[in-house]
Each structure stands twice: as structure tokens, then as C-alpha cells.
A and B are shown apart, each in its own frame.
Chain A
Amino acid sequence: MVQHSDQHFDVIVVGGGHSGVEAACAAARVGMADGLRVAMVSFDPAKIGAMSCNPAIGGLGKGHLVREVDAFGGVIARAADAGAIHHRMLNASKGAAVQGPRVQADRKRFAAAVQRIVTTQASLTVVTGEAVALHTTPGGAVAGVVLGDGRIIAGGAVVLATGTFLGGRLFRGEEVFEGGRVDEAGATRLAQQLRHAQLPMARLKTGTPPRLDGRTIDLAQLPQQPSDAGDWTMSAATPGRMLPQISCFITRTTEAAHDLIRANLHRSPMFTGAIGARGPRYCPSIEDKIHRFADRTSHQVFLEPEGLDTHIIYPNGISTSLPADVQLAMLRMMPGLATVEIIVPGYAVEYDHIDPRALDRTLMVRALPGLYCAGQINGTTGYEEAAAQGLVAGINAALCLLGREPMILDRWQSYIGVMIDDLVLQGVSEPYRMLTARAEHRLRLRADNAETRLSPLAERLGALAGERKIALDHRTATRADARVRLAAMVTPERLRSLAIAPPADGVMRCLGQWLVVDAAAGERLVAASLELAALSPAILAELVEDLRYAPYIARHDAELRALAANERVALDPALDFASVAGLSSEMIERMSAARPETLGQASRIAGVTPAGLTAIMIHSRNRAA
């Protein structure tokens, strides 16, 4: 049956969450010059940009992703700045490479900023409706989506960014609901279709804590965590902090609360077996914490305000699926919460995700060309991870339709590259969260140099808009000039003129080295240079950090050269791993699921042995010969 389509676009993004927003806006930015039309299908456009969990953006590893998305002109960092009411640089006392910028964002202002960016983005149209099915050509190619009211939205590429809405089930105590977030219908029909298409799928779980009424909390008796001083922002395009800064507060679970939770574990669906799926080890529910770390008598709970003009408080650290009455009783046993009221109880969500090993490195489903998947649907967790995938899927969907080379980011180039590589090669066994430990080249992948690393590429792809481009050109020139100045040797005369004692070791150093080794003297030298004194402190800090870790970067470069040989060995795309002698059945399963394109990729698949790798190489060469 030939169906008539009601509207025509090129790229159709399903979902208006963090991933969908980045995908739609990135596709629109990249495709704008060529007249590419992008549609974003959303249940409810008023909910575009909603933060479904904690009201924070950034953090360790995650802050890196936000800055990287921003380097491509993305949305999340700008919206975070527009809503930022509390700033914190995590790991501030450690090396810059592991420092993670994080902000608490006013939920309402964040979503409003996202919606403003989406609605003003040229070439992007928001379509209200439920995408219930993929629209395909008689030959099975992806040709758009079918909406719940029967309308067909045609387009050559579809990006699924449906979050937890695929086959989502909510658990709160003995209650079970279908859907993604509370009060929203899940994309259950689409999930069924994907299951029919035989995409490899699995289930994961995640949880969220109850939301509290701040007016019923005695904040005065709780330790306060004020916002960091300073003027850093998430986006390079944000001129400064815009909103008043407010504090977070810290309370703790008590032994009485632990006893209560223990006594009610049988009412938690995660413990009764109602939820079989795996949850994140690094973000356990309070039931998990108490069950698994029985020796701990107290756990920290951060009380995070959800906005400037709301009294809702997000208690970070106690996600739970216990029944509402237990949640309330447990909370009231904590300092400052004796009379607390719950606005929305916490719950657990179990949802479908696609095994991301079914995707290629552009996040396209290998078996369904034209269909891209981004965000939580790929088994990840977090706004930042979702946004970064949306960016990759959106840009690549546009590039593919335009017949241009795909954008593949390498592991040594970006956290985004690390994440995509991990997802498509290793798959997930728990919700995937970015960590700096995942990036073997993290000394060069700093949050503070994301723009330097990625913006030139973004500019070539056309992902940067006019103003951002001008700012980038200016920054690039300033940085190059400052780099030359920092490389200049500091002469003994110069030291004398500033009354700085000569170094005890007699070594002549360049200005940059002075800053690395003896920051106090270095800063006096910088202050004495007209050009450097006028330089933005962020650029100066970035350059000094480059120098500090230069010996390690040089060693990484050598490692990379050694690895490049393996990356050049292409594996036959039709390689039947089951026919490779010597591969264990576990390796055959992993290789077949991930389908590595090169020997280098195969070598990164967890558990691969040198023998297995040799066997793959020999087999592949055999076929090629």
C-alpha cells in the first residue's frame, strides 16, 4: 500500500529531550546552507528541554561533554548558562584535565532557553504528535515516521531520541505505570515496531528521588554549599553569569532511616524482582546503598534548589522506588527534614534500549540505513551523554543526506569520540555514564580546551553560526599570539628588571615554564607584559596547562603512532567471525555484535586476546588475498 505523506522534511528527529534538541539543531545548522529541512516531533512542545532528573548540568567527564557539544555551537551549554543558579568546579584542586564544571540550572529557565533556541533555529520545524511507527518504503528503507493521528511525516533520515519512553514502566512501591516520565505516555507502539524489526534490544533501569517542598525544610540547621566564586560559564558564547547565585544544602541519612528502609526492602520493586533490568552501579538507589554498603551508617544527601522562583528541592543521593509512605517516613528521619512534605514521590523506571553495537560510528543503525539512534535509547544515562550523541547523530544525518563525508571523532580527539567508540564496540551492561577514566588520552582532553580541539572541525562542517565563527577566529589568533609570547625565554636582565631572584638551578626558562614551575614569579612576569596581561585568563590558563602536561602528551603521540598501524588494517565488513578458528564463543558473540571495521577497533573490544586478534587478522587477510 502506497501511503501518502502529509509533510516533507529531510531529517526527522523524534523526541524533544536533550538528545533530540541537539540532533535537530545540529542537523539544521549543518544543513542550513544547502536548504536541508529538519523536523522535531514531540508529544508536547511545552516539555521540550525538560530536565527529567536532577537539575544539574556538567560534572566530572560530563562537563567535558558539555563543552565539546558547545564547541560545535550546541544548545546544552548555552541553556545551562541561561539557567545557572549555582556553579561548582569539581576537582578544582587537581589537574585541569580532570576538572569538571557543573551548574545547578533553574529548571524553568533552562527549558525556556532550550525552547527559545529551538524555535528560533532556522530550517527547524517542531511537529506536535506521537511518533508511533517508522514509515518505510516498500523496499524497507527508512522514509519517515507515522504519527499517532495517522499523519505521515516523510524524510530521508530519522533520528530516534526517545529517551526512556520506549517501553517504559514506572515502579513506585507496589504500583506500576506504563510511560516514561510521570504523567506522560511512553512510545510503546514504536518500541513494539523496533522489536519486530529484530533490532537487538535489552532493558535497563534508572531511578529518581522524591521532589520536596522547600518551605517545609529547616535549611537553617543544615551545612551550606555556596556557589563557586569566579566567572566561568559552560558555553564559550556566554559573556558572563546572568542570574543570582544560590546555595545548595547538605543533609544525611540516619541509622533510623536505614533501619526503616531495611524493614521495607520487600516493598521495593528492585528487591522483589519486579524490576529485573540492570541499573547504574555509580548511581545506586538508596535501597541499594543500604543493602550493598551495610557498614555505612550515613549517606550524604545534597538538597538542590530547582529554581529561583520555585520552592521545589531535589534531594540528590536518594533515588528510590520504595512506596510513597516509606519515602516520607525515611525523609523525616533526616536532619532538617522533620516536617518535610513530598511534592512528587520518587520512582524507578525500567525501559528498553537498543544494543548500541547495532550502530555504526555515525550512530546509524547498520541494518536500517537512514535510521539513527541517540541518547538514552542507546543505553546511556545523563543529559550530557544524550546531548553529545544527539549532536553526532544530527550532524551525520545531515552530512549523509548531503552526500558528504561522515563526522567520526577519534578517542584521542574528544570525550564524544571515546563515548561513541565505547558504545558501538563494547555495548552496555549498565546505563553508560561518561567518566574521565574512560578517556585514555584525558591529559589532552580537557574541558578548558574543548574549543581549541573541536571548533576548527565544527567550522569546516558548517556547524558554527556567524557570531560564533567570528569569536572563534578572534580566539584562534589571540591564542596563537600568546603561545609565541609564552615560548619566549626569560632573560636574566628581565628577571633583574622585575627584581625576581634568579633560579637556584641556573636553568633559563621560557615564560610558560616559569608559570608551570613557579606560578608566583610567573604571574609577575605576565603582569609585566602588556599583551599577556590583556589576555583572557582562560586562554592563558589553557596554554599553561598545555605546557604542564606536554611531556605526557608527547608520549601519547608516540603511542598513537604505534596504534595507527592497527587502525589502518581494515577488516572485511562481511567477515564471519564464527568461521575464524580460535575465537572463543564469547569473542565470536562480541565481535559479531560490534562488527569492528579495523584491527585497531577489534583490539579495543573488551576481553580480546592477542591470539584472538591474530586469528582475526590472519583470517581477514586470507579472505582479502
Chain B
Amino acid sequence: MTDMIFAPSHNDATIFALSSGMPPAAIAVLRISGPQAGAALAALAGRLPEPRRATLATLRDPTAALACERERPEGDTAALACAVACDGGSARKAEREKPEGALDRALILWFPGPATATGEDLAEIHAHGGRAIVRAIEAALAAQPGLRRAQPGEFTRRALDNGRIDLAEAEGLADLLEAETEGQRRHALAMAGGALSRAVGDWQQRLLLASARIEALLDFADEDDVIADDLEIQNIINEIAGISGEWRSWLARPHAERLRDGLSVAIAGPPNAGKSTLLNALAEREAAITSPVAGTTRDIIEVPLALSGIAFRFADTAGLHAGTGDAIESEGMARAADWIAHADILLWLGSPDTAPTHPVMCRIAAQADRFSVDPAWSLTVTACDIRLSALSGEGMADLRNWLVATAERLLPGEGEVAINQRHRDALAVALVALDEGCTGLSTGKARDGCVDLSTGKARENDPLMTDPLILAEGLRAARIAIDRITGRAGTEAMLDALFGRFCVGK
């Protein structure tokens, strides 16, 4: 077995970490979780505030033997919270203004367990985000008995361990923390809120019921209360068909990866068609090296970019042409072709009649300021055709609008939960299991032994009937597969992968 991603915690250990971004920043949020969280907060702030109420306090290093200054009476907490968050300069200002011997004036929050995010006692310090302040508070916390720095993902792991969230929710949380765009955030919130878990719970219930009905036929066939006939089996198969139909529609939903990683957009075309220039224009900075020499872009350059709150990954691919035999160039072209094939959207800058086949393509008449439009443009109609000059800006707004509109079509809609690859895999396995249960694996549809091989048909007076044993087997395999989404079976490897995604304190 592989080692755990982080060193296992002692269960009495209290962990802390900086939960906000790297300093310097306007504010820094430090979280403390575990049995000593309250004591540690009280040691630094001089007392424990009222639970679940943001309170202003002067933080001191309790180990530093300094003359104590009693904290000032509190002001309006809301107004102060606003002041804390105001601007980047406030950190330095706060450092200058803090009282002698104090670490900072900060907002503190106290959440007694177990009804907290981690299921343990939890404290938060919202301090000014200067490097020196954060370092000093961290040092003071580390000096507290029973406290240590958190390992990556450890807060979430504790939440999972304490039953505060299930796996699907944990994944949603991971996505939420990584979310950079509004669309990603909304989706991750839906996941963390348990939309998928609720759907899975519903499937589990229905699968269990279908299983129970078929098991009754198998285990209580001699009881007259159990109707062991083909009609009951057909009813169960119909119920299963309903479930697998739902799975098919979930599988047909847009991939969560599109939201998380951004829609992939390949910019492709022959050498020197202006692909890199277009990318730079979209990125509004020099992301790719542009030069008038054909074949400058030999590798894939990916530029993550958010347009109207939607994440994209633009890739400037190597120019597609007959090739010069240059090994590096050939490799670059192979990669480009692969990227194009897997991209969600293709922006094609070449002649329209040489455009590759792609379901979502926009053909662009680029360098419109230099060339007159190719007569071939009028011949075919595709998803979108745009006349564009990256240099003059002509057509750029049209292209951006088209990209956003297309993305909205490709991405999950409001309230619709997208599923990631792990969920897709589990659903696909479960779907296959149900299909096999209904149709049989070894010999097609027949109850075995009753086919006339010379005609391939069922023998007379022995109608084809699904083997209830195989139906039950399919349901069992489907249940195991579905359990993997919220994680009841085969948890080890998946947990490792899941927690590997977290950084400290999140």
C-alpha cells in the first residue's frame, strides 16, 4: 500500500495553518482546529470570545515576557472588519500602529465543536496580512502546547473523519478552494452542498429496493407471498431501466473538468496564419512568442483565461503543414493534432476547405488587415465564421461573444451538477453492471441452455427469460460501483488522490 499523503495526526493534536493566500495581502486568515484550539486562542487574545461572533482583540505572544497592555474596549465589530479588509497598505499601517508588545489587532472567531467545519473545536484569527505579522502569529501558535502546523488537506480530512462531509462533498470543497471563476465557484458550491450525494443516496435506495425484490424471488421462492413470475422480473427490469436511464443522462452532462480546468480551446491552422497573434490578443499580453518567421510555435502553449467569468484554456498549437522532416517539428505537429482532437472548441485559422472535422469549430479569417477574404469561405457554413484582425481589433468582440455563448452551451447550467472523471467511471461501471444484469453476460439474452445454435433462436416453449440470478448479480455490482462515489468501498487509493489536491489549511 502507498503511504498516506500526510503524516497521520495524533488524535489529540491541534493543528493550525494560514488558510488565506500567501502574504502580503490585505488580511490573513489563520485557522486552528482541535482540542487545544480554544486554549490557544485564549492564550493569544487574552480570552475566548462569545461563540460564533466576530470580535476584535489584541493578539500577544504569551511566551514573550512583555509588559501587558490591557486590550481596549471593543468598537463596532462590523466597522472594524471593514477597516481590516480595506486595502493592501493597511497591513503596514497596522504594523506601525499596533501597541507595544502586541502582535496585531485582529478579528477572532470561536466555534466550539462538534458542529464546526472540521467537527472539532475551531478558532479563526483574521489578522492583517503582512508577512511579519503572519510569521509572528504562526510562531506564537506553534509555541502553544499541543499545537502543530497542519499538513496539506488535513482540515478537510478531519471534516471527513468526523463525518462532517462525505467524499463527494470533500471533492466539491477541493474544487471550491481551487475555483477561480464564478462558474467554477457556483458548481463547487452545489457539490459541497451535497447535490451529487443526494442523487447517489436516491440511487442507492432504489437499487436496494430492486435488489430486495429480486432477492425475495431467489431466497423465498417457496413462500406464497412472493410472486415469482416473469411479470415481476419484467417490473424489476423496468425499474432498473429507469435508473440506468438517469445515469445515462448524468453521463451525458458536461464534464466537471471543463469547469474546473476550463474549456479547452485549440487555436490551429497552417504556419504563420496568425495563431500566436490571436492568442496574444485574447490574452492581452505576450503569452506566446510571435514573429513573422513561419514555425515559431513548436510546442503547445496553454494560456488559462477567464472570459465573462468562464474559465478557458487556450492552446496555441504548432502550425499544421506538410513538414520539413525536422523531428522536433514533427513531434510538435503530432501534439497539435492530438490537442485539436481533444479540445472542446477549435478556432481554425486556415483555409476553410482544409479545416479538420470538429464538432465545435469557429473558422476565422485572420489577418483580415493583410489578406482579402478567401473565396472558399462562402462555400460551407460551420458553427461560426468570423473575420478578424488581432492587430486592429476588428472582430475580436465577436469572437469573445461567440466563445462565451458556446461555453454556456457546453458547461453545466445553473443548478446542474457536473460530474468529474471519478464519478463518471463509477457510473459507467454501474451502468455496465445493470445492463449485463438485464441481458446476461455470457450468452446474450437467453436463459442458458435453451438456444438452438443452428438457428440462433430460442427453442420453442422456452421463451427467453433473464436469469434472475444474473439480474441480482448486476444489481450487486452496480451497488458497489455507486457506493464508490460517496466512498463506501475501495476507498484507499481514491482518498490518497483526493487529499493530495489540498494545500495547507484549506
* B-binding residues in A (CB < 8 A): 59-61, 90-91, 94-95, 97-98, 282, 293, 296, 299-300, 435-437, 440, 443, 500-505, 509, 514-522, 548-552, 555, 559, 562, 565-566, 569, 579-582, 584, 603, 609-615, 617-619, 621-622, 625
Contact = CB atoms under 8 A, between A and B. Distances in A.
A435 B219 contact: yes
Nearest to A95: B469
Contacts of B205: none
A565 B119 contact: no
B473 A443 contact: yes
A517 B491 contact: no
A98 B453 CA distance: 27
Nearest to B457: A504
Nearest to A507: B453
A516 B449 contact: yes
Contacts of B167: 610
A443 B8 CA distance: 40
A551 B442 contact: yes
B441 A562 contact: no
A502 B454 contact: yes
B218 A60 contact: yes
A320 B158 CA distance: 52
A613 B492 CA distance: 9
Interface in B470-485: 470, 472-473, 476-477, 480
B163 A582 contact: yes
15 contacts: A59-B222, A90-B222, A94-B467, A95-B467, A282-B220, A300-B224, A436-B215, A518-B451, A551-B442, A569-B1, A582-B119, A609-B166, A611-B162, A611-B166, A614-B495
A299 B490 contact: no
Given A505-B456, A610-B488, A517 B470 contact: no
A504 B454 contact: yes
B380 interface: no
B496 to A, nearest CB: 10
A538 B443 CA distance: 23
A300 B487 CA distance: 43
Contacts, number: 152
Contacts of A95: 467-470
Contacts of A610: 160, 166-167, 486-488, 491, 495
Contacts of A296: 225
B495 A580 contact: no
Interface in B211-234: 215, 218-225
Contact of B452 (A91, A520, A622): A520
Contact of A518 (B1, B449, B467, B490): B449
A559 B119 CA distance: 34
Nearest to A566: B492
A521 B454 CA distance: 9
Contacts of B450: 519
A625 B215 CA distance: 45
Given A515-B449, A582-B163, A611-B163, A299 B224 contact: yes
Nearest to A515: B449
Given A503-B453, A610-B495, A94 B221 contact: yes
A60 B219 contact: yes
A618 B4 contact: yes
B452 A565 contact: no
Nearest to A613: B491
Contacts of A435: 215, 219
B9 interface: yes
Contact of A98 (B8, B119, B218, B477): B218
Interface in B416-455: 441-443, 446, 448-455
Given A552-B470, A610-B167, A618 B8 contact: yes
A447 B225 CA distance: 25
Contacts of A299: 224-225
Chain B CB count within 10 A is highest, among A95, A293, A625, for A95
B161 A614 contact: yes
A10 to B, nearest CB: 40
A609 B219 contact: no
Given A443-B473, A555-B477, A504 B455 contact: yes
Interface in B186-245: 215, 218-225
Given A562-B490, A569-B1, A517 B449 contact: yes
Nearest to B483: A610
Contacts of B160: 582, 610-611, 614
B449 A519 contact: yes
Nearest to A503: B453
Contacts of B449: 515-519, 522
A145 to B, nearest CB: 38
Given A549-B442, A581-B158, A617-B492, 12 more contacts: A61-B219, A94-B218, A94-B221, A98-B469, A296-B225, A299-B225, A521-B453, A551-B442, A582-B158, A610-B495, A614-B161, A614-B495
Nearest to B119: A582
The 7 closest A-B CB pairs, nearest first, are: A582-B161, A501-B454, A519-B449, A610-B487, A581-B11, A95-B469, A610-B491
A57 B274 CA distance: 84
Contacts of B163: 582, 584, 609, 611-612
A522 B453 CA distance: 10
B47 interface: no
Nearest to A603: B489
A516 B219 CA distance: 24
Contact of A437 (B218, B443, B491, B492): B218
A548 B442 contact: yes
Contact of B451 (A59, A517, A552): A517
Contacts of A500: 454
B441 A552 contact: yes
Contacts of A520: 452, 459
A579 B12 CA distance: 9
B370 interface: no
A300 B480 CA distance: 37
B4 A565 contact: no
Contact of B448 (A504, A548, A580, A614): A548
B72 interface: no
Nearest to B474: A552
B162 A91 contact: no
Given A95-B467, A518-B452, A615-B161, A60 B11 contact: no
Contact of A614 (B219, B222, B491): B491
Interface in B166-200: 166-167
A97 B492 CA distance: 32
Contact of B222 (A60, A503, A521): A60
B96 interface: no
A504 B454 CA distance: 5
B10 interface: yes
Contacts of B489: 603
A150 B435 CA distance: 67
Contact of A504 (B11, B218, B453): B453
Most buried by A among B1, B453, B480: B453
A269 B162 CA distance: 44
A390 to B, nearest CB: 24
Nearest to B165: A611
A330 B228 CA distance: 29
A12 B276 CA distance: 88
Contacts of B469: 94-95, 97-98, 443
A106 B164 CA distance: 59
B215 A437 contact: yes
A91 B453 contact: no
A97 B222 CA distance: 16
Contacts of A300: 223-224
A157 B455 CA distance: 65
Contact of A440 (B9, B441, B476): B476
A517 B473 contact: no
Interface string B115-136: 0000100000000000000000
A265 B223 CA distance: 24
A514 B473 CA distance: 24
B1 A565 contact: yes
Nearest to B1: A565
